[in-house]
């Protein structure tokens, strides 16, 4: 701890410990001392936590499902007749890589929940006025499906914009009556965020940008709006991904950070050791060619700065298991859709906080400072991490 103090003093500007370049200098020196071996990816494609107090371990390998992608994660303690487990959607493609929905039970066994899909990116369990079952996006068919526990499958909401419609679903307050909850969906091709009513009809809520993909409710207004929306980009338009904030009425849309690549399904931090800031998964930069392991998971600070949390991972989704549904409380689960070169199988990793493996007081200080520093706002001169 004394060493950390003298590093801080050497960086200057001791009167303002949470702003500007002095904080950036302090973090860079401190992390280089605490985590230097962790910051360089190893030869094998295994995710690396930039803070050694976090432990990364394999949780599931989808090899038994062939080319199926582990794309979107949803942890449930058991709802609407469905058993507890980690539900895994398989993504945006129109072939066997994205045609099934699976569940991993608390014992780690995997089973098929639904097949025959033509893409599936996101799911939520129906609640309140939305009835029973789970609601699943099928963007290539421009619709949201309802799956019941008895296996019956019906269209719930249609009429989204071709060729790629609803991507991500989330619940949030109704702008007309914030005490009520409604379902929001990103309409990828139009760039709109829509409200999906309990009868399946939709209303435009906000016009964001083409390729708007993920939408997350900002319940504590960390980012100055009511929602955070992530914009995806294709190989043909590199460095054009972005993250936006959207006001509670959908009228004000502001860019929080731009110049990103392959931003996927953003997740809100649950508090505790992971903090309340949002986590941003990325597959990395696909231009001119995809590179295995150049993606990341970053923590999004309120000013738009992205602080690396996991590297050497082509991540698409994150889920937090605070209650320990899958056997380990206070754990993060994250997908890696290109875990190894040459068509290897998707993997899911588990991340836990293990302070004793970090190497003493200095690493503990770094862990706390990295997570809490995001909440206190990194200054504009701290540098943005390109995904």
- More confidently predicted of 218 and 5: 218
Banded model confidence at residue 259, pLDDT cuts 50, 70, 90: very high
pTM for the complete prediction? 0.82
Closest CA to 60 of 49, 69, 51: 69
Q: How far apart are CA 57 and CA 254, in angstroms?
A: 37
**How many residues would you count in the chain?**
387
> Which of the residue ranges 19-33, 163-177, 327-341 would you say has the lowest mean pLDDT?
19-33
Is residue 178 assigned to a domain?
yes
pLDDT for 40: 37
Is 142 inside a domain boundary? yes
Residue 375 — pLDDT band, cuts 50, 70, 90?
Answer: very low
Torsion angle of C-alpha atoms 95, 99, 105, 107, degrees rounded to 10: -20
pLDDT digits (tens, 9 = 90+) for 219-253: 889 999 999 999 988 777 778 899 999 999 999 99
In a domain, 17, yes or no: no
Residue 217: domain span: 54-360
Query: What's the domain count of the chain?
Result: 1
Residue 26 lies in a domain: no
Is residue 163 assigned to a domain?
Answer: yes
* CATH code, domain carrying 294: 2.120.10.30
Q: Is 315 a member of any domain?
A: yes
- Would you state the structure tokens that stand for residue 243, as one six-digit string? 């993250």
Could you count the other beta carbons within 10 Å of the beta carbon of residue 290?
15
CA 171 to CA 125: how far, in whole Å?
10
Confidence class of residue 281 from pLDDT cuts 50, 70 and 90? very high
Q: What is the pLDDT of residues 93-132, one digit of tens each?
A: 999 999 999 999 988 899 999 999 999 999 999 999 999 9
How far apart, in whole angstroms, are the C-alpha atoms of residue 51 and residue 326? Answer: 24
> Which range (69-73, 87-91, 189-193, 280-284) has the least confidence?
280-284
- Answer whether residue 29 is part of any domain: no
Among 52-56, 75-79, 210-214, 256-260, the minimum mean pLDDT is found in 210-214
pLDDT of residue 292: 63
- Within a 10 A sphere around the Cβ of 227, how many other Cβ atoms? 25
pLDDT band at 45 (very low <50, low <70, confident <90, very high): low
Helix, strand and coil content of the chain, in percent to the nearest 5, comes to 15, 35, 45
pLDDT at 116: 98
Residue 377 falls within a domain, yes or no?
Answer: no
Task: Tell the residue number behind the tokens 């994150």, with chain if given.
Answer: 318
Give the range with max mean pLDDT: 26-30, 118-122, 359-363. 118-122
Q: What is the mean pLDDT of residues 46-65?
A: 94
pLDDT value of position 284: 76
């Amino acid at each position: 701890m004394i060493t950390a103090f003298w590093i801080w003093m050497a960086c200057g500007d001791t009167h303002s410990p949470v702003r500007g370049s002095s904080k950036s200098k302090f973090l860079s020196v401190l992390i280089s001392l605490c985590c230097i071996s962790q910051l360089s990816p190893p030869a094998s494609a295994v995710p690396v936590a930039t803070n050694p107090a976090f432990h990364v371990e394999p949780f599931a390998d989808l090899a038994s499902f062939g080319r199926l992608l582990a794309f979107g994660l949803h942890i449930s303690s058991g709802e609407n007749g469905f058993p507890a487990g980690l539900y895994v959607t398989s993504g945006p493609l129109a072939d066997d890589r994205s045609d099934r929905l699976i569940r991993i039970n608390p014992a780690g066994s995997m089973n098929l929940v639904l097949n025959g899909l033509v893409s599936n990116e996101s799911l939520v369990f129906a609640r309140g006025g939305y009835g029973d079952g789970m609601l699943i996006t099928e963007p290539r068919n421009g619709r949201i499906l309802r799956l019941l526990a008895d296996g019956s499958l019906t269209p719930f909401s249609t009429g989204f914009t071709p060729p790629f419609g609803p991507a991500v679903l989330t619940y949030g307050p109704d702008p007309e009556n914030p005490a009520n909850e409604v379902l929001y969906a990103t309409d990828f091709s139009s760039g709109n965020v829509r409200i999906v009513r309990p009868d399946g009809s939709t209303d435009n809520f906000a016009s964001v940008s083409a390729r708007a993909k993920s939408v997350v409710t900002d319940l504590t207004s960390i980012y100055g709006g009511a929602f955070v929306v992530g914009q995806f980009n294709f190989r043909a338009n590199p460095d054009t991904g972005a993250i936006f904030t959207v006001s509670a009425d959908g009228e004000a849309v502001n860019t929080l950070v731009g110049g990103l690549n392959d931003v996927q399904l953003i997740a809100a931090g649950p508090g505790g050791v992971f903090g309340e800031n949002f986590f941003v998964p990325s597959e990395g930069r696909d231009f001119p060619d995809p590179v295995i392991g150049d993606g990341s998971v970053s923590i999004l600070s309120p000013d738009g700065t992205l602080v690396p949390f996991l590297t050497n991972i082509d991540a698409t989704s994150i889920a937090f298991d605070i209650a320990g549904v899958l056997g380990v409380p206070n754990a993060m689960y994250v997908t890696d859709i290109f875990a190894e070169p040459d068509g290897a199988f998707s993997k899911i990793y588990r991340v836990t906080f293990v302070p004793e493996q970090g190497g003493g007081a200095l690493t503990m200080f770094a862990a706390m400072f990295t997570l809490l520093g995001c909440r206190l706002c990194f200054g504009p001169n701290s540098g943005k991490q390109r995904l």
